Structure 1
């Protein structure tokens, strides 16, 4: 690319130089011809004035001394009789066509080429009679030399201009190409998976704009990949819960051979169904686009929570209690709420003790679902800490799912440990609640107003 930019710049400079030099060269040629004619004419007129009296009186004329500048310019000056004989000065012994044309006195100045010279003749007139002709001549080689030297100077200047253009083109090409090469290196690092790569700023608006766009894209890809990795880790953790329940049921059936095997099989099938439901929920929640939120079927959700909780608690001889305290309707994805409750029940079964209580209640303009157990005081412990210890990474997944639904999950009481899920309530349908309305969207004013009041 550098070579291409340099070549194009030099080519443009050459084209501009040629287009400028051609008419200028013609103008130089014309200028020197006109200048030579003027010099010869001045020399001839000066001599004609000096010898006019001698020619009129019939005396032999003599060529007067000329100025040094005129002498260098005029070359040679001769005085001729009307019949073409050389009377004085330098020149051919017999005048040529230029002198004969001047002797006719039809024009004031006659200019022409005679051999290797350019000659100019002016008549010397006394009254109506031509008394002589003054001829001034300059070798064509001297005229060509002056033109050629000027053209060579112009060519040297053109070469120097082209060289400067080449140097400037290389400098600007380097300045232009280097940021692009750095962008290419950054893009290669991004392709290798290094999403922390950032492009340097070059001070060129268009290239910097591309760099900023590339940096923003790298940041978005990195964040998306990080979220995908976190979701994969959390989802795999979430899948372990029904597998653990199924394993405990099977182990309990093995420990009690006298128990009804059909009951163990039915419990295992129910656990497998819950595992399948968990997989479907995670796949649905992992999709970028989700269906519009419908009103939550709280009864069915609590019944599923009862079945899942009993499957987790019965092997440990613990019980589950579900209480309804006139809960209001809410709008949320059933899959998300189901997974949040599953995480809370698993957390209570794994880290808690005694009876687990699930309470669905009215929290102002929000639906609150409390999950409590009789475990030890959590004190100042943050159960949502990033380190996968104690309460594990499942609570972080549950909080992110709750926030994605416009709700909130928090530790409302450390002793006994009580987690509260807050969901925005569903209002009666109005024209403002048509599809596309923002009244029930996550983070809307109504949803967060209810959560704040709770």
Structure 2
């Protein structure tokens, strides 16, 4: 605000000082013109008397404070108020001085002529106070106008400062609330583009942080179900080895280590997906993922005397989704079929036109309600909300069959050429 007032004062001075000087010169010039007109009128008045060698008895009256004097051709004062002998302006018009005409601010001299001969001179003068009296109202008006300009600039600067500071104060308050963990900030539009952009960016940051924390909290509840199954299998193997260590073969040890590796991979992938970090930027190779799931789930289902089948057509297109997300989604669906379903479990992949694919996981059980995809309190499909969220984050979705016990994963197709299936 001080800078704005200083700039306004500088602008007023830059404009006012030259105007002040110009007005002073104009007033002096007008006063000299008035004195010259008065002197010329007086010269015509006394011309006849001087021609007849008579001294006029009186001179014309001028404005208050104006002095008029008559001089003969020798520069001697004959009549009126003036120096006893003519000064420089009088000597010049009488021809007694050569060179440029002298300029006195408020003294004017004109000759009195008689058929081409100079027979005298009229001198008019005015005091400097007369000029100051004429300039006084002008100066006061300019000073008043400058004061109005400066006060207006101060008021406008103060209003603008308040208008700018209030949104910034609210922005600081919102930032403090965000730092304290309150993500419900909702800044109002102020009409100031820069402030509105900063507020919108802060609001988007708050929303992203809120979503991130919500995902982290949901992860702690939903991921426990994903980890429970491999942990239970590993625990059974270790308890069996503890009861009969002599029967623990190298293959069983390797299988246990494989379970630990899968458990570590599951934890890493879930953490990465919870933070919206893609584990790979390339489209997933579905046949490879299903081959890994076959190695993991076929032995487990075989222990319960349940059949397991995977059907993937040749030259199947790649889905435009990360391998980690697809692996976790299919893991949830297979675990749901293993725990809550009955009979044979099947995985079938098929194309849906040119832009999408479907992966269907089915069993011979009664199926689950559609609400199981969103409600974790139904009692079945505890990991299904996590699978649904992961599918939607990859641009896909999950659907539940209304007649058969089938859950379908729909995913968009990558723009890459199809890759020959390994199965």
- Which of the five TM-score ranges fits, normalised by the shorter chain? 0.7 to 0.9
Provide structure 2 residue ranges, at least 5 long, that are not aligned to the other structure. none
Structure 1 length-normalised TM: 0.74
CA contact (8 A) 2:370 2:400 kept: no
Cα deviation for residue 38 of structure 1 reads 0.6
Whether 1:280 and 2:293 are equivalent positions in the alignment is no
CA contact (8 A) 1:284 1:290 kept: no
Aligned mate of 1:29, from 18, 24, 39: 24
Aligned pair count reads: 403
| Aligned position for 1:177 | 165
Distance 1:408 1:52, change over 3 A: closer
Aligned mate of 2:328, from 335, 339, 345: 339
Instruction: State how 1:219-234 maps to structure 2 within 5 Å.
Output: 219-234=207-222
Question: Partners in 1 of 2:376 and 2:411 — Cα distance?
Answer: 30
CA contact (8 A) 1:407 1:421 kept: no
Question: Partners in 1 of 2:312 and 2:107 — Cα distance?
Answer: 122
Distance 1:36 1:440, change over 3 A: farther
RMSD: 3.8
Cα deviation for residue 296 of structure 1 reads 1.3
Cα deviation for residue 201 of structure 1 reads 0.8
Distance 1:180 1:438, change over 3 A: farther
Question: Partners in 1 of 2:326 and 2:116 — Cα distance?
Answer: 128
Aligned mate of 2:280, from 247, 269, 290: 290
Structure 2 length-normalised TM: 0.79
CA contact (8 A) 1:44 1:77 kept: yes
Provide structure 1 residue ranges, at least 5 long, that are not aligned to the other structure. 1-5, 427-435, 442-454
Distance 1:280 1:111, change over 3 A: same
Cα deviation for residue 144 of structure 1 reads 4.0
| Aligned position for 1:100 | 91
Whether 1:86 and 2:77 are equivalent positions in the alignment is yes
Question: Partners in 2 of 1:156 and 1:403 — Cα distance?
Answer: 71
CA contact (8 A) 1:242 1:272 kept: no
Secondary structure of the residue aligned to 2:372 is: coil
Question: Partners in 2 of 1:59 and 1:425 — Cα distance?
Answer: 123
Secondary structure of the residue aligned to 2:41 is: helix
Comparing 28-37 with 286-295, greater Cα deviation is found at 286-295
Cα deviation for residue 204 of structure 1 reads 2.2
Secondary structure of the residue aligned to 1:87 is: strand
| Aligned position for 2:14 | 19
Question: Partners in 2 of 1:338 and 1:98 — Cα distance?
Answer: 112
Whether 1:437 and 2:415 are equivalent positions in the alignment is yes
CA contact (8 A) 1:305 1:338 kept: no
Aligned mate of 1:56, from 51, 58, 73: 51
